[in-house]
Structure 1
Amino acid sequence: MRRQQGFTLVELVMVIVLLGIVATISVQFVALSTRGALDVSERQQRALQGVVISEQITREVREAFPLSVRENGECLEWLPVIAGTGYESLTTGPGFDEVSIVPFGRAVPAGARLVVYGYGSAQSDLYGTSNPGPVSPAIIAVADSDTTIELSASHRFRERSPEKRVYAITSPVSVCQVGQWLYRFSGYSPGSTQPSAAALNGAGGTREVMSANLVGGSFNLKVTPPSLQRAAVVNFEFELANLNGDETTRMSQEVQIRNVP
């Protein structure tokens, strides 16, 4: 009779134990690899998010009326420029409601305002409504080839531009941190005193979310006014948090405002 061969119980148990160890190691390897890939992906997403936020702020600030950029520790505020040109003559009597210009070369919507900024104006004057002053009331819509701008109310410009320059601007824009949120506010009324984030929340304008994962108090601002040697410089930085962990990504940007009045 032929003898039958097989595995003993001890051998089977050893095989099962070894397979369990191999399976455990494989699962841990896959889990750690997956976690590592997710961590890398989250870092890349935060880096991309930081680049997008920085680029958006940079592009808008570069299109600001340069002397209007200001900060109060929690908000960065500026007056966006729509168009600029030279003027032939400013408002004169009897109506004081028309400005003769070289055509803008583009349409300017109704509701925009004109700025003629001279050496004697303060920054707060740009946000005020004084008459006479450097900023006009709202204008009537202007076509790209128009040589005359009609104001919605009479106005006298207090100073003259050395280069006879006039700019069309819209309502102010602010970027503020509120807790972990970074907001962009627009469409609110200007004021000679820069509003806080809390005031802008109830100002009745438009509020847009730029980020929902900022580290508290990380939106730091510094505005260096222009001088005779250079334009204004804006420095800002912020820190983005990982909502699923403790990692953060810090972004820092310097913007030189290229427009000059």
Structure 2
Amino acid sequence: MRQRGFTLIELIIVITMMGIISLVTVGFITSSMQGYADLTRRDQLSSAVRVAVERMAREVRNALPNSIRVNADGSCMEFIPALAASRYVAVPLAVASGGFSSVPFAVEPPQGRIAVYPIDTNRIDETASGADDSSRTSTQNPIYDLDSWSIISPLITSGALESGSGTVTVDFNGASTHRFPADSPAQRYFIVDEPVSFCLVGSDLYRFQGENGSAYSFAQNQSDGAALFANLSEPQEALLASDVVSPVGSQPFRYEDATLQRNGIVLFDLFIQDQDLSVADTTQEGIRVQFEVQVKNVP
């Protein structure tokens, strides 16, 4: 009876082939797992800042026209949120008054301040005779300059701006009187809130909410992110994202003025890098997030 089995050569060939197949399989599995790990790490890096960018974009779209400004190094962007808008019958221009008549709102709007004809962020409106701000320079923003004759009024106290017919009266706070520098060609006015700033402080992205009478409110000169961080606390100060740095050769925030062909554009340019990893670690990587938002400039 003949005996059957493997020769040594056959056994070596089988072992060699099994080794090759195992190496290919392990390499495939390893590369797949490494790819999944890299994808997860990148998603973790970008997810937080992506949510922050979407929030910033949503708020900036509702900014008062021409109220967006960016500081010199691009680390801070400030704007005035527009809460509602309507049309007036007449607003005080030559003589200050405690209020004005308005077309009623369909739904009762939030309380805030009144802004009329915010045409230009660097326009010097009050250098004429009798102006109370004749020393203002062209680098100072009159939209943020609150006085008795300015684009933005004192707080309003009206609580009945919703009406079925006729007109309603918008009253300024208490005994306050106000007049506006210019009349709106469309007789449009906005109800606005306190200013808001998005700032990159170190490697953290913050949102700062202005509040009347606090360390952050309307001011001719834009506030610095470090100063806002030092002087404010929750809820005026809110952390949006961490591990964010300014891209090399660029600025986190930029604003391009409107032209005859397009609206104004806000540009976000943020670089996210895991600060917990060592600089010498070859797995360290960053993700650059760039986003553009068109903003309305029609006052």
Residue matched to 1:182: 205
Q: Pick from 120, 138, 144: which aligns with 1:127?
A: 144
The equivalent of 1:39 in structure 2 is 38
Task: Indicate which of 155, 158, 170 corresponds to 1:149.
Answer: 170
The DSSP-based 3-state class of the residue aligned with 2:199 is strand
| Aligned equivalents of 1:226, 1:23: Cα separation in 2 | 62
Q: Describe the shift of the 1:228–1:156 C-alpha distance in structure 2 as closer, same or farther (beyond 3 A).
A: farther
1:214 Cα deviation from its structure 2 partner = 0.7
**Map 1:34-183 → 2, pairs under 5 A:** 34-72=33-71, 73-91=74-92, 96-110=97-111, 112-117=112-117, 120=125, 124-140=141-157, 141-145=159-163, 147-153=168-174, 154-163=176-185, 164-183=187-206
Name the counterpart of 2:236: 206
Change (3 A) 1:77 1:93: closer
- Secondary structure at 1:99 match in 2: strand
Q: How many residue pairs were aligned? A: 256
Question: Aligned partners of 1:158, 1:103: CA distance in 2, in Å?
Answer: 20
Does the 8 A contact of 1:67 with 1:226 survive in 2? no
* Counterpart residue identity of residue 46, structure 1: L
* One of 220, 231, 235 as aligned partner of 2:263: 231
Q: Distance in 1 between matches of 2:102 and 2:161?
A: 12
Instruction: Return 5+ residue gaps in structure 1 as ranges.
Output: 1-18
Asked if structure 2 preserves the Cα contact closer than 8 Å seen for 1:236 and 1:254, the reply is yes
Structure 1 residue 87, shift from structure 2 partner? 0.5
Q: Secondary structure at the match of 1:200?
A: helix
TM-superposed deviation, 1:259: 5.0
State the match for 1:246 in structure 2: 284
Find the aligned partners of 1:158 and 1:82 in 2 and give their Cα distance. Answer: 19
Paired residue secondary structure (1:67): coil
**CA positional deviation for 1:158:** 3.1
**RMSD over aligned Cα atoms:** 3.5
User: Which structure carries more helix by proportion?
Assistant: 1
In the alignment, the residues of structure 1 paired with residue 118 and residue 52 of structure 2 have an alpha-carbon distance, to the nearest angstrom, of 33
Q: Is the 8 A contact 1:236 1:252 kept in 2?
A: yes
142-151 or 159-168: which moved more?
142-151
For residues 126-180 of structure 1, give each alpha carbon's deviation from its aligned partner in whole angstroms, at most 9, with x where no partner exists: 2122111111111114443372111104232232333211100000110000111
TM-score, normalised relative to structure 1: 0.80
Give the TM-score taking structure 2 as reference length: 0.71
Decide whether aligned partners of structure 1 residues 159 and 54 sit closer, same or farther in structure 2, where only a CA change above 3 A counts.
Answer: same
Rounded Cα–Cα distance in structure 2 between residues aligned with 1:67 and 1:236: 18
Give the unaligned 5+ runs of structure 2: 1-17, 120-124, 127-137, 212-216, 278-282
